[in-house]
């Protein structure tokens, strides 16, 4: 089952805007090719995927800004990377929470569309979401990242679901950082009335805009 982002109205509006832009791009490409112009670039971004049924050492825990909180300690199991939450693990606030991140090769965020996370729960998990560009100093965002991203609720029944999160989330504040997209963070938050819970992440995929547009049609 695929679960999308929370704000469906904004998602539809963004898709319509993207469709209009793609139509304009398509006709411009046809015109250029018909006039003997340059070919369409072949080095477009491809899907990037991490599968956690094998070691993925590039993914590491994020260190909380506050020294009062503990970071999550990921545990690799047979088919997933488990993020165990306890009463001591926090990011910012009263709920058990944790975050992992990976370094990226200085990508242009505008080239990418979605992050797909296949995961299952062990105990009650409330939500999962994205952060951008890691820092160990306080950037004023409440956590060790310069910008917050899209988020969605999690279904806590122990089954595997695919959560699709938008990279062009309209509420994201990119004013705190300039330049390339250097890190992707994935956070998970549990319920404040449960001492222990965990999220098992089976895979993470980053989908480029070109491929996502073709797939939707």
Q: How many CB atoms lie within 10 A of CB 80?
A: 22
Q: How many CB atoms lie within 10 A of CB 74?
A: 19
The per-residue pLDDT for 42 is 59
The per-residue pLDDT for 35 is 42
Rounded-to-10 torsion of CA 140, 142, 148, 151: -160
Q: Give the number of domains in the chain.
A: 1
- We report the CATH number of the domain holding residue 6 as 2.60.120.260
The per-residue pLDDT for 168 is 86
Instruction: Give the separation between CA 34 and CA 117, rounded to whole angstroms.
Output: 41
The per-residue pLDDT for 20 is 46
The whole-number mean pLDDT for each consecutive block of 10 residues of the chain, a chain of 217 residues, reads: 55 42 37 39 81 97 84 96 91 85 95 97 95 82 82 96 93 75 95 86 95 54
Instruction: Give the separation between CA 69 and CA 84, rounded to whole angstroms.
Output: 14
For 187, counting Cβ atoms within 10 Å of its Cβ (0-12 exposed, 13-18 middle, 19+ buried), the class is: buried
The per-residue pLDDT for 117 is 98
Q: How many CB atoms lie within 10 A of CB 177?
A: 17
The per-residue pLDDT for 24 is 38
Report whether 147 contacts 132 (CB < 8 A). Answer: yes
The per-residue pLDDT for 166 is 95
Both structure tokens of 217: 């049609």
Residue 130 domain boundaries: 2-216
Report whether 91 contacts 143 (CB < 8 A). Answer: yes
The per-residue pLDDT for 21 is 45
């Amino acid at each position: 089952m695929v679960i999308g982002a929370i704000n469906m109205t904004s998602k539809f509006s963004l898709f319509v805007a993207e469709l209009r832009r793609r139509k304009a791009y398509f006709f411009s490409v046809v015109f250029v090719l018909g006039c003997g112009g340059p070919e369409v670039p072949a080095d477009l971004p491809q899907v990037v995927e991490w599968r956690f049924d094998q070691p993925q050492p590039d993914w590491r825990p994020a260190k909380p800004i506050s020294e009062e909180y503990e970071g999550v300690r990921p545990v690799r199991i047979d088919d997933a990377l488990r993020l165990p939450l306890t009463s001591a693990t926090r990011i910012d606030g009263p709920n058990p929470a944790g975050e992992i991140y990976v370094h990226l090769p200085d990508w242009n965020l505008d080239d990418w569309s979605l992050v797909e996370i296949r995961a299952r729960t062990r105990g009650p998990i409330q939500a999962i979401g994205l952060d951008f560009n890691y820092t160990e100093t306080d950037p004023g965002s409440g956590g060790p990242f310069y910008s917050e991203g899209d988020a969605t609720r999690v279904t806590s029944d122990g089954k595997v679901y695919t959560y699709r999160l938008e990279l062009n989330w309209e509420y994201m504040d990119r004013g705190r950082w300039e330049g390339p997209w250097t890190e992707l963070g994935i956070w998970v938050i549990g319920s404040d009335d449960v001492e222990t819970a965990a999220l098992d992440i089976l895979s993470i995929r980053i989908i480029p805009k070109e491929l996502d547009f073709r797939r939707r049609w």
